[in-house]
Amino acid sequence: ALSAGSAGAFNCYIDRDIDRVMNRTKGRPLVTGEVSDREALVFAYALGIVSTALFAIFTNWLAAALSVGAILFYVVVYSLLLKRRTPQNIVWGGAAGGFPVLIGWAVVTGSLTWTPFILFLIIFLWTPPHFWALALYRVEDYRKSGLPMLPVTHGNEFTRLQILLYTFLLAASCMMPFAFGMSSWLYLAAAVVLSIGFIAYAVALMKKYSDELARKTFRFSLIHLTALFAALLLDHYILA
């Protein structure tokens, strides 16, 4: 939580100029003046240093290194280098979002195998359709900010097609924990139902767009990932 908080605080500092013009973000403390730029930076660095120290002292150096790598990837690669330069920004944001499963695996096992990378892949493929659904009904916000989000650069219909294609890729990745023996039928049943639900929303969005449907798709994406990982945990502890 401290590590993710550090990355988030750095991001708020970097994006404070565009946050001022977006309705979704204009209430953030750096925009309203509740927190100064200096205070935000001190807070971000402090969280990063403390989280790294806690990982190194109480877990292992691999987890600590991955945590630092996650912060640097999110802040430097995503926020500073790619976010304002490419409509594929959120795809790379998904890579940053997948780091916590690698960190958690390293904390518990002290190593990295192929297994946590399946979970990383699920988060990586989940992020674009999740965030593009939000970007569709917030497109004017992004247009004002100047960010090259996909609905701004390539239009509504192209973005909806990308959401649909990514939900199919995501569905395939969600079957991998069962296919590779990480889980059993309980997880598989949940993954199938959730994948069908996400694809159904993407198909409906492709057929006939509305802001309300885009909102529902975004909300379902939150349920999808939460329920998927909850099912993975239940499967492990109930059927282990």
DSSP conformation letters of 82-141: ITTT-TTHHHHHHHHHTHHHHHHHHHHHSS--SHHHHHHHHHHHHHHHHHHHHHHHTHHH
Residue 45 has pLDDT above 90, yes or no: yes
What tens digit of pLDDT does each residue of 164-200 get?
999 999 999 999 999 999 999 999 999 999 999 999 9
Distance CA(226)–CA(207), nearest Å, equals: 27
State the average pLDDT over residues 80-101. 93
List of long-range contacts for 178-181, beta carbons under 8 Å, 24+ apart: 180/115, 180/118
State the average pLDDT over residues 151-158. 96
The answer to whether 74 and 11 have CB atoms below 8 angstroms apart is: yes
Angle subtended by helix axes 115-137 and 156-174, to nearest 10: 160
Instruction: Dig out the tokens for 40 from the structure.
Output: 């935000």
State the average pLDDT over residues 82-109. 94
Rg of the chain in Å (alpha carbons): 19
Amino acid at 234: L
Residue 81 has pLDDT above 90, yes or no: yes
Predicted local confidence at residue 239, as pLDDT:
74
Q: How far is CA 142 from CA 18, 70, 147, in A?
A: 9, 25, 6
Distance CA(142)–CA(145), nearest Å, equals: 5
Predicted local confidence at residue 240, as pLDDT:
60
Closest CA to 186 of 240, 223, 117: 240
CA 189 to chain centre: 24
Distance CA(47)–CA(21), nearest Å, equals: 27
Q: How confident is the model at residue 209 (pLDDT cuts 50, 70, 90)?
A: very high
Residue 238 has pLDDT above 90, yes or no: no
Residues of the chain above pLDDT 70, percent: 100
Is-above-0.85 flag for pTM?
A: yes
The answer to whether 176 and 188 have CB atoms below 8 angstroms apart is: no
Instruction: Dig out the tokens for 5 from the structure.
Output: 């908080």
Distance CA(122)–CA(116), nearest Å, equals: 10
CA 118, 224, 25, 81: dihedral to nearest 10 degrees?
20
Closest CA to 157 of 90, 211, 206: 206
